[in-house]
Structure 1
């Protein structure tokens, strides 16, 4: 065991003895599953750090917004509002396509595999869960 490992173990034992770890959110419970199986193993830690920091890539937020606008458009019955929603949806989809091309993701087969899983999660279709 290296010096850093020993030092970490000592600090943990000290925190347990002093009661600093008694009021943790998941004390005595299973930790929630953080499913990153669809992310390449060498990128998982980076994704987890970004996710924990609250960072969402622009393409993910744009996709989410497109799904939301599409749902609103489907439920909308007012022609004026429908036209406005269609305009907004077109703008978001165009921005998303431009962003994907700019980042070189539009032709990546790996991205398209991931894209399906993101779309399924956002729309709740469950297709990705069945695979």
Structure 2
């Protein structure tokens, strides 16, 4: 079960991202410390060499694109299809994050 504040945190982060508050942060472009652990180094290297992006990252990107498309769409039928796709992607993302939290 996720923390009850996760949706509020996610909304705050999306708002900050839209208003470019993450632009020019100290440490931007440098590796995150928690990803520099030796046990993660092999997985990180393999992912970078093969240009693999985690599923959760792919889903979040696709969700952003779907939300933008929904905002621009005026046809009711196409909007309904986009809303279904968004719902499917949100469910897949939730399942992916739950698995990541549970199994690492």
TM-score by structure 2 length?
A: 0.58
Structure 1, unpaired ranges of 5+: 1-32, 106-131
In the TM superposition, residue 39 of structure 1 has moved relative to its aligned partner by: 4.6
Q: Distance in 2 between matches of 1:65 and 1:56?
A: 13
Contact 1:63 1:96 in 2 (8 A): yes
1:40 aligns with 2:35: yes
Corresponding residue SS for 2:101: coil
How many residues align? The count is 73
Q: Compared with structure 1, are the counterparts of its residues 71 and 101 closer, same or farther at alpha carbon in structure 2 (3 Å cutoff)?
A: same
Contact 1:62 1:92 in 2 (8 A): yes
Partner of 2:13: none
Structure 2, unpaired ranges of 5+: 1-27
TM-score by structure 1 length?
A: 0.47
Greater CA radius of gyration, 1 or 2?
1
1:61 aligns with 2:58: yes
Worse overlay, 82-91 or 95-104: 95-104
RMSD after superposition: 2.4
1:80 aligns with 2:72: no
Corresponding residue SS for 1:56: coil
Contact 1:59 1:96 in 2 (8 A): yes
In the TM superposition, residue 68 of structure 1 has moved relative to its aligned partner by: 0.8
**Structure with more helix by fraction:** 2
Q: Compared with structure 1, are the counterparts of its residues 45 and 66 closer, same or farther at alpha carbon in structure 2 (3 Å cutoff)?
A: same
